[in-house]
Structure formats: structure tokens, C-alpha cells
Amino acid sequence: MKYVERLKHNSSLYIGYPPATDFELSQYAELLDYSMNSLGDPYMLSNPFSSHAHEKAIIDFFIGLYELDINKYWGYLANCSSEAILYCLWKARDYLKQHKKDIKVICNRFSHYSIDKAVEILDIDLIKISSNEYGELNYKELEENIHTDYSYIFFGTIGSTITSSIDDIVKVKSIFNAKGVNHYIHADAAFDGAFIPFTDDIRLCRDFDSINISGHKFIGAPMPSGIMIINKKYVKGEFIEYVLNSDVTIGGSRNGLNPYLLYKRIKQIGGIEGLKNRYFECLNNAKKYEKTLKENDIDVFRYKDSLALVLKNIPKEIMEKWHAPSKGDLTTLTVLPKLTEARLESFIYDIRAYKANKFKLDIKTLMPAEVEKL
Ligand SMILES: *Cc1c(COP(=O)(O)O)cnc(C)c1O
């Protein structure tokens, strides 16, 4: 199978993971004949081959969406949310050092595994707090784990990968304040971050020091990206003379095509109004599909206004055909435009066939593309 055929085929089975696939950006293919490099701070606009103007427009758009003070916040488009998280934790650690206390990261056990990598790279202790089976943080346990001998970085999850649960950052902040400890709050909003401002849950997410939102998830783009926004007081740049820019990002040379395509994609969706309509259309479908699954005797749960349908006990064989994240006995379908009614029906059909011992797995979908030796 050629790579493009593989992409086409596997995209049709990609019903669970949060990246959206309903974009059409091939009209911008002419850019592929140019060298694009967005090295440096996107706000300095001083690089001849960068797409910094597009990158700055994206960051400004999200600063506006979250009603943050444009004079106090800054950001860049990282390669992915994991890089954005690493960046924010790095800045948080360096800032908290001034208090001369050991620093600990504290998070919900339903947090994304990228936190494990970030704390390992930065060599910071990590405490995981328990949650109920739907990912709701145990705030009492959080409180019991906070001691005045330490400074803390709270890694809050705004939409966990499996259940879409949300940590109440406002409540967490009040717990830290009541204990009188130095703290920093990061919001991991990889999927939900592009629509949470349209929901009532936004009141839980005010007051973060930094946030990450994956560009390839709810919005959807050909390549991954991580929108990173942080309070400026945590960032110090060094002016590098020969590139005429502050190289403050983790990467030196950075992908210049990505900000351009993500900018075009946000325009295509229709900016803030478009994102809002997209969310409510998906939410309507989520409610409808939840009913359909129940009518077909499939055990399903949906957390508040989330777009994630959490299914229980879906056979492993079925999940070797369809692509969706699983944890324990839970499997998640993310209701994006790619999860059409026809796809959902086809998925349900497979589960019925499995129950009747008639399900056949076409393993070809997992095969790598056929590639000649170089
Ligand atoms: C996907 C995801 C991440 C990691 O995002 P990448 O862009 O793949 O690095 C982190 N946190 C949550 C909640 C996610 O869903």
C-alpha cells in the first residue's frame, strides 16, 4: 500500500483519538517549494523566512478567546502539546527556584503521560493524586499532599484523554492559597482548549499561569502543533545577535509551514463564531450518538458537556481494526465531524458481528507503507 492510500484508508477508521481530519488545505501546496523556518520569538517579526506573522495571529487569537491581558501573555506554536508542556514546566521550575524550596509537580492520575516525560527531563518530583473512575480529582487528597516546605507546580487537566474530565483550577488555586505555598498552575487543554471558552466550564479554568492547546486536535491540521501561552513574567530571552531574534523556544529552527496552515484552517472554520458552531454541532452529535449506542446495548458514559463517548468493555479485536484510545476497560470515541453517523453504524455493526462470532479483522490496515530502499 502506498503512503497516501494508507492515510486514506486508516483515516476512515480513526474514530477515537482527538485529532480532527475534516480539513482541506491542498490549495496551499505552492508553499512546499520554499524553505520556511520560523526560528525565534514570533513577536519579534524579524526573520525573513518565517511565518511569524501567522504564528503571532494564532497566539493573539487564543489570548483573545481566553480574555487574557494581551500585555501580560505571550506564546508560540510548539511542535505539539508535549513540547508546550515541557516549556511551561521549565519556565515554572526556574521561576519557583527563587523561593529556595524544593519543587514538586502535582497532578491528577488521569493526566496525560506527557507529564511523566517532562518531569523526567527536568528532574522534578511528581505526585499523582487519585481520582474517581471518571477522572474527577480527589481535592481532599490534593490538600493533604501540600506542605509548606515545598513550592508546587500544579499540572491541571482540562479534558483528560479518556473521559474528558476537568480539574477545577480555581478550586485548586484556593487550596494552594489557603495553605500559603508558592505555586504555579499549568492548564493542559490539548483537546478541550479550543472550545472550553464556549462552555460553562470556563469558570473552572480561569487563573492559569500557562496553557497548551493542540492545533491538530479539535481544530485539525495536517501536522501536529501545540499552541502555548504563558504569562510573560516567566520568560526571559537572550538576544542572539547573528539571528537577530530572541531564540527563546525549545527548538531552534522551527516549522514555518505549520503556523501558516493552522492560521488558514482557523479562518476556514470561521474564527471564534465558527469554532463555537463547530463545538455545538459536535455536542449535538455526541448526545445523539450516546443514545444510539445505548439503544444498541453498548455501555456508554459522557462527562457533562464533553465530546468524548466513553465505552465499556469493547472487545480488543474490534479495537485492532478501529483506532481509539483505551485505558483498562474504557475506550473513547471522540465526536468530531470525522465521526459520521455512517462510521458509528459501521462500528456498531462490527460489535454486533463480534457478538455473533462473525467479525473478521483486516490486519492490512496496520501494515507500514510499501517503500523502496533509498
Ligand atoms: C493529546 C494530549 C496531550 C499531548 O498532546 P501532543 O500534541 O500529542 O503532544 C496532552 N494532554 C492531553 C490531555 C492530550 O489529550
Determine the distance separating the centroid of ligand 1 and the alpha carbon of 190, expressed in angstroms: 5
**Atom from ligand 1 closest to the CA of residue 84:** 9
Name residues of the chain where pLDDT drops below 50: none
* pLDDT tens digits along 237-248: 655 555 556 888
Supply the pLDDT for residue 202.
Answer: 95
Mutate to test the pocket of ligand 1, among 81, 188, 336 (most ligand atoms within 8 A of CB): 81
Q: Where are the domains of the chain?
A: 3-16+271-355, 38-269
CA atoms within 13 A on the CB side of 252: 3
Q: Give dist(CA 94, CA 98) in Å, integer.
A: 8
Domain 38-269, CATH number (from 3.40.640.10, 3.90.1150.10, 2.30.30.40, 3.40.50.2300): 3.40.640.10
CATH of segment(s) 3-16+271-355 = 3.90.1150.10
| Any atom of ligand 1 within 6 Å of the Cβ of 188 | yes
Q: Give dist(CA 260, CA 28) in Å, integer.
A: 9
3-state helix, strand, coil in the chain (%, to 5): 40, 20, 40
**Atom from ligand 1 closest to the CA of residue 224:** 7
| Any atom of ligand 1 within 6 Å of the Cβ of 110 | no
pTM over the 0.85 mark:
yes
Supply the pLDDT for residue 294.
Answer: 97
| Any atom of ligand 1 within 6 Å of the Cβ of 81 | yes
| Any atom of ligand 1 within 6 Å of the Cβ of 212 | no
Supply the pLDDT for residue 255.
Answer: 96
Q: Which DSSP category does 153 fall into?
A: E
